[in-house]
Structure 1
Amino acid sequence: MHSVYLDRFTDNNMALLLIEEFKKEILIDKSQLPEGSIVGTWFLVEIQNDLITKITIDSSKTKLMEQEIGNRMERLKSTKKSRFKRN
């Protein structure tokens, strides 16, 4: 099983998936995604002959990555102070 990220949807109803392990992109038809798939979702996939044979949502990794991004955003907001004085 490989970890895959749903990066975006294209204008022609295709989904761009990023395969983390191989640093590769795959375009598949949006209808092949599991129900409830949105941009930012992580999946576990089986790949044979460069084709995805099985795809399931990886809920735990999706939640983990959302929390990590949220934590990073909070740190950025809290350290964002101007070095310039206001008049």
Structure 2
Amino acid sequence: MYSGYLDRFTDTNNALIVVDALQQQFHVAAALLPVDSTVGTWFTMDIQEENIIALQIDVDKTQAIAREVEERMQRLKSRKSSRFKRQ
């Protein structure tokens, strides 16, 4: 089992899934993705011979990453002044 995320949709109606553990990208037909798949969705998948043979949404990891991103954005927005001063 590998973990990867939906990076983007391409012009050819394919989805680009990135698997960091393998340092690879896979193109999958958008029609073959699970229903509710959006950019940033994390999946657990089985991969054999350079092909994804099973794909399932990892709801817990998707929500955890979304929370982490939101927290980072809030921290960035809370900074009131720039550390770079004009002279």
TM more than 0.5: yes
Q: Map 1:45-64 onto structure 2 (within 5 A).
A: 45-64=45-64
Cα shift at 1:80: 4.0
Q: Distance in 1 between matches of 2:42 and 2:59?
A: 7
Q: What are the ranges of 5 or more consecutive residues in structure 2 without an aligned counterpart? A: none
Residue 14 of structure 1 pairs with residue 6 of structure 2: no
Residue 39 of structure 1 pairs with residue 39 of structure 2: yes
TM-score (norm 1): 0.90
Residue type of the alignment partner of 1:20: D
SS at match of 1:28: strand
Cα RMSD, aligned residues only: 1.5
TM-score (norm 2): 0.90
Q: Which residue of 1 aligns with 2:4?
A: 4
Q: Which residue of 2 aligns with 1:81?
A: 81
Q: Distance in 2 between matches of 1:38 and 1:28?
A: 13
After TM superposition, where is structure 1 displaced by more than 4 Å over at least 4 residues in a row?
Answer: none
Cα shift at 1:65: 0.1
Q: What are the ranges of 5 or more consecutive residues in structure 1 without an aligned counterpart? A: none
> Equivalent pairs: percent with the same residue?
44
